[in-house]
Amino acid sequence: MTEAGERAWRLSDGEWHRLHPATPLLRGGIIFIALLGWVVVQFRDLWINIFLGSVVGEEPPEDPATSWILAHSWLAVLIAVGVLVLILGFGWLSWRMHEYRVTDELIEEREGIIWRRHRRGRLDRVQGVDIARPILPRIFGAARLEISMAGSDGSIRLSYVASRIADTLRAEILIAAAYRRSEEAAQQRPAAAAQPGVVPAPLASRAPAIANRVNAVVADFMAPELDQEVAPESVVEMHAGRLVGSTALRLAPVLLIVIAGAVAAGIWRPFTLIFLLPILIAIFGLAGREVLRALRYSIAATPDGIRIGYGLFSTANDTLPPGRIHAIEIRQPLLWRPFGWWRVRINKASSSAREGGSGLSSSTMLPVGTLDEVLRVLGLVLPDWAEPTAFTGTPPRGRWLRWFSWRRNGFAFDDRTVVIRRGALWRTLTLVPLARVQSVAIEDGPLTRAMGLARIEVHTVYGVVSAHIGALDAGDAAAMWRDTERLTLAALT
């Protein structure tokens, strides 16, 4: 075991531990710098007087505050030192009072000097642990650990811990959580662990999850070295050219609309073009940020789940147990078609679904990739998945509702997922693992009913992916509704 490993192993002994010493500076860093800037600007006259006084000559300062300070220089220095000591003392105290511990059952965090805040999360509710390294903490060798909890429990953020223990601590929390879960399951369902895996995703039903987890835990213990620092090999390699090209093509329609609008406005009233600039800057800024983030994209399977890394300057690593993925969408904008590029997005169960480890939209699993790469990424979630050959589609009378896409509109089941295919201009394929389906609805309205059509909506956790399909034959839709429910129940037990 490495030294970092030993250190971290001692960290989950149920004792209270403090965070990285630079934490107060990093958390209050922006405020501190802003304050410093304000002081510099506010007392410009003062600095000129102190440092350049002899050069420019003793001009009486105009600013009353500056003249007061010059008149009482010792007092001013005393106040400045006092404030500095106060800030440092406060920071030191807040660091002393900010602690966390990992016990057999809980993760706890407590902080605050006057108002104490105490958060605790049950280990068996841990969904995943993300590591984020924004640029400033990275310089200090610190990282943020975000432990997301199931359901509405929220998440616990340890900001910041030392980078060198972050990975081990993460692994350790996940292992402890797995132990906790398997212990609990052993009490509740003695036979659970003996069941063979029905669904590939751990956590799908608990049975295979526990088996996998326990195996992983055992493997970890048997291994002579627990070296978490070695990043597993990514299954997809990101090419800069493709990334830039795909982003440009994706934004091209928006840009065209903006430019067309600008031309129209320019003919009408040229000065309105001024307003165009911020819009363009925003668009390019967004595109640039996305490209930068995805440049160092990597995705790989680990015993804890799928590990997605991204970010060039501020890096982030999200580890996603496959069971946390509730829906997958493979999508192709019209302009990507000549190049055969696709994008993979997911819905995941997490309180931090809106933001990933570093405030990036973590719903993107693969920013851009060829079909082959998409299938490799899919293979991490659903091993050996292949697109079903027979889709139940839209009947001829439904063409009026799906002008372009009636040929593609359809659904299919395989043994683990319900597959929905939609769209001709924006080709979309949505996969929902049956064990993840929350509920299923069938709907119709006066018009669709008259046409003998209906709509199905498969409900998953909140996210960007929506699994619905309309313009189905009413009979087919009813069959799909029944089958989805039947297969979901089968996957649950």
Partner 1 sequence: MTALAAEGEWQRVSPKYVWVDLVARFVPGAIVTGLLFIPALASHLTWLFALPAISFIVLVIVLAFTPRRVRSIGYRLREDDLVFRRGIMWHRVVAVPYGRMQLVDVARGPIARAVGLAELRFVTAAAATGVTIPGLPEAEAEALRDRLVALAESRRAAL
Binding residues vs partner 1 (CB under 8 A): 150-151, 203-206, 209, 323, 326, 349, 435, 438-446, 449, 454, 457, 459-462, 474, 477-478, 481, 485, 488-489, 492-493
- Specify whether the CB–CB gap between 171 and 146 falls below 8 A: no
**199 token code pair:** 């669904």
Question: What's the min distance (Å) between Cβ of 484 and partner 1?
Answer: 8
Please give the backbone phi and psi of residue 303, each rounded to the nearest 5 degrees, phi first. -60, -25
Measured CA to CA, the distance from residue 104 to residue 427 in angstroms comes to 47
Question: What's the min distance (Å) between Cβ of 450 and partner 1?
Answer: 11
- Residue found under tokens 């999508």: 331
Scanning 206-308, the segments in alpha helix (DSSP H) are: 206-222, 240-268, 276-295
Question: What's the min distance (Å) between Cβ of 3 and partner 1?
Answer: 36
Measured CA to CA, the distance from residue 72 to residue 92 in angstroms comes to 30
Residue 437's H or E segment, with its range, is: none
Closest CA to 298 of 283, 311, 313, 308: 308
Three-class SS state of 432: strand
Smaller CB separation from partner 1, 292 or 474: 474
Question: What's the min distance (Å) between Cβ of 376 and partner 1?
Answer: 27
Smaller CB separation from partner 1, 82 or 154: 154
Residues 22, 232, 149, 374: what is their CA dihedral angle, to the nearest 10 degrees?
130
Smaller CB separation from partner 1, 424 or 451: 451
Smaller CB separation from partner 1, 163 or 182: 182
**Amino acid letter at 17?**
H
∠ CA 330-336-338, rounded to 5°: 120
Handedness of CA 253, 255, 256, 260 (dihedral sign): positive
Smaller CB separation from partner 1, 153 or 220: 153
Residues 443, 445, 447, 450: what is their CA dihedral angle, to the nearest 10 degrees?
70
Question: What's the min distance (Å) between Cβ of 240 and partner 1?
Answer: 38
Closest CA to 144 of 127, 156, 126: 156
Question: What's the min distance (Å) between Cβ of 408 and partner 1?
Answer: 23
Smaller CB separation from partner 1, 247 or 417: 417
Smaller CB separation from partner 1, 54 or 493: 493
Measured CA to CA, the distance from residue 149 to residue 353 in angstroms comes to 11
Instruction: Please state, in angstroms and as integers, the Cα–Cα distance from residue 30 to each residue in 40, 257, 357, 365, following that order.
Output: 15, 38, 19, 31
Measured CA to CA, the distance from residue 4 to residue 256 in angstroms comes to 53
- Residue found under tokens 């609008």: 261
Smaller CB separation from partner 1, 123 or 166: 123
Smaller CB separation from partner 1, 169 or 209: 209
Q: Which residues, 6+ apart, have CB-to-CB distance to 225 below 8 Å?
A: 1, 2, 5
Question: What's the min distance (Å) between Cβ of 150 and partner 1?
Answer: 5
Question: What's the min distance (Å) between Cβ of 196 and partner 1?
Answer: 17
Q: Which residues, 6+ apart, have CB-to-CB distance to 19 below 8 Å?
A: 95, 98, 99, 100, 158, 159, 160, 161
Q: Which residues, 6+ apart, have CB-to-CB distance to 273 below 8 Å?
A: 262, 265, 266
Burial class (CB in 10 A: 0-12, 13-18, 19+), 191: exposed
Question: What's the min distance (Å) between Cβ of 191 and partner 1?
Answer: 16
Question: What's the min distance (Å) between Cβ of 326 and partner 1?
Answer: 8
Measured CA to CA, the distance from residue 178 to residue 209 in angstroms comes to 9
Question: What's the min distance (Å) between Cβ of 173 and partner 1?
Answer: 18
Smaller CB separation from partner 1, 172 or 473: 473
Question: What's the min distance (Å) between Cβ of 474 and partner 1?
Answer: 5
Smaller CB separation from partner 1, 139 or 492: 492
Smaller CB separation from partner 1, 150 or 301: 150
